[in-house]
């Protein structure tokens, strides 16, 4: 299939001209981007400042309840048909279609959630950051706080409830920070547990998000 294909070094300059400043979308885009980046460096070419979008991280964040995050499984979720799967052209087209569905998925979420995500990534260079920034700007411009369009999935994810059954009463700390104290619920049942402030902050933010209905 690739026996007679040109080497990346032979077509890299033309590829960069083709890409220009166009954003790139990929399923696990870092894999492809690192390959491209390494070859650009090895060829003494200039690495362009390209905006990258990753369908894998978007799917894991916004349809987290799905049981698989492979390209094929995600396309099945949105009923995207892939002909000649695992061929470069077919997979690229499927990834583009998947990206459009995931954009709609993000657009369906309330402004407060997207603002939280944007603030979290404001000082980083993670993929999809520009997407969140643009959605926040559009929501403010259109004076819309409850999402800009319906979710395309029509799927109700399971509620985040924990059910306990057994004899006696389950004694769970109500304050999430109490789980991570030196003598808290986790350290009493986990030998060698070490308190870490980053864990406490993360669980606190997660608890607040779930409490607010996210």
User: Is the entire prediction scored with pTM above 0.85?
Assistant: no
Q: Are residues 105 and 44 in the same domain?
A: yes
- Residue 130 sits at the vertex; the CA angle it makes with 152 and 141, to the nearest 5 degrees, is 75
Q: Is the pLDDT of residue 1 over 70?
A: no
Q: Is the pLDDT of residue 66 over 80?
A: yes
* Cβ neighbour number for residue 25 with a 10 Å cutoff: 21
Asked whether residue 26 is domain-assigned, the answer is yes
Q: Are residues 170 and 83 in the same domain?
A: no
What is the tens place of the pLDDT at every residue in 73-104? 999 999 998 877 667 788 999 999 999 999 99
What is the tens place of the pLDDT at every residue in 139-177? 999 999 999 999 998 777 666 666 666 666 666 677 777
55 pLDDT tier (thresholds 50, 70, 90): very high
Tell me the H-state helices in 43-87. 55-62, 71-77
Asked whether residue 151 is domain-assigned, the answer is no
Res 167: pLDDT = 63
Asked whether residue 211 is domain-assigned, the answer is yes
Share of the chain above pLDDT 90, in %: 44
Residue 203's contacts (CB-CB under 8 Å, 6 or more residues apart) are: 176, 177, 179, 180
* Cβ neighbour number for residue 96 with a 10 Å cutoff: 13
Q: Are residues 35 and 118 in the same domain?
A: yes
Q: Are residues 64 and 110 in the same domain?
A: yes
Closest among 16, 6, 7, 4 to 45, alpha carbons compared: 16
Asked whether residue 91 is domain-assigned, the answer is yes
Q: Are residues 124 and 52 in the same domain?
A: yes
Domain boundary among 108, 141, 174: 141
Q: Are residues 36 and 104 in the same domain?
A: yes
Res 86: pLDDT = 64
Res 158: pLDDT = 64
Cα radius of gyration rounded to whole Å, the chain: 22
Region 119-133 average pLDDT: 88
Q: Are residues 136 and 95 in the same domain?
A: yes
CA-to-CA distance for 103 and 52, rounded, in angstroms? 14
Between the two ends of the chain, the Cα-to-Cα distance in Å is: 46
Res 200: pLDDT = 77
Inter-residue contact 73 to 174 (CB < 8 Å): no
CA-to-CA distance for 40 and 47, rounded, in angstroms? 6
Res 188: pLDDT = 77
Inter-residue contact 132 to 110 (CB < 8 Å): no
- Of the two residues 129 and 154, the one the predictor is more confident about is 129
Inter-residue contact 54 to 29 (CB < 8 Å): yes
Asked whether residue 147 is domain-assigned, the answer is no
199 pLDDT tier (thresholds 50, 70, 90): confident
Q: How many helices (H) and strands (E) does the chain have?
A: 8, 2
131 pLDDT tier (thresholds 50, 70, 90): very high
Asked whether residue 77 is domain-assigned, the answer is yes
Closest among 89, 70, 92 to 26, alpha carbons compared: 92
What is the tens place of the pLDDT at every residue in 10-51? 889 998 998 888 999 999 999 999 999 999 999 888 888 889
Asked whether residue 155 is domain-assigned, the answer is no
Q: Are residues 35 and 121 in the same domain?
A: yes
CA-to-CA distance for 8 and 169, rounded, in angstroms? 64
Q: Are residues 106 and 35 in the same domain?
A: yes
Q: Are residues 118 and 68 in the same domain?
A: yes
Domain boundary among 109, 141, 173: 141
- Of the two residues 111 and 82, the one the predictor is more confident about is 111
Domain that holds residue 191: 163-214
Q: Per the structure, how many domains does the chain have?
A: 2
């Amino acid at each position: 299939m690739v026996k007679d294909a040109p080497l990346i070094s032979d077509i890299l300059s033309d590829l960069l001209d083709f890409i220009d400043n166009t954003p790139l979308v990929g399923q696990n885009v870092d894999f492809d981007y690192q390959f491209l980046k390494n070859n650009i460096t090895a060829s003494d070419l200039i690495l362009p400042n390209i905006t990258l979008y990753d369908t894998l991280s978007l799917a894991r964040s916004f349809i987290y309840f799905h049981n698989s995050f492979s390209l094929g499984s995600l396309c099945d979720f949105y009923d995207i048909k892939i002909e000649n799967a695992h061929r470069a052209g077919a997979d690229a087209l499927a990834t583009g279609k998947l990206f459009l569905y995931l954009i709609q998925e993000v657009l369906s979420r309330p402004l407060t959630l997207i603002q939280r995500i944007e603030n979290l990534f404001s000082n980083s260079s993670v993929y999809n950051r520009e997407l969140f920034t643009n959605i926040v700007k559009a929501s403010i411009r259109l004076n819309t706080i409850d999402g800009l369009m319906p979710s395309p999935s029509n799927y109700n994810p399971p509620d985040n409830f924990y059910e306990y059954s057994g004899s006696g009463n389950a004694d769970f700390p109500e304050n999430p920070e109490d789980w991570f104290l030196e003598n808290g619920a986790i350290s009493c049942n986990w030998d060698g547990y070490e308190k870490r402030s980053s864990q406490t902050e993360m669980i606190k933010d997660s608890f607040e998000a779930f409490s607010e209905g996210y």
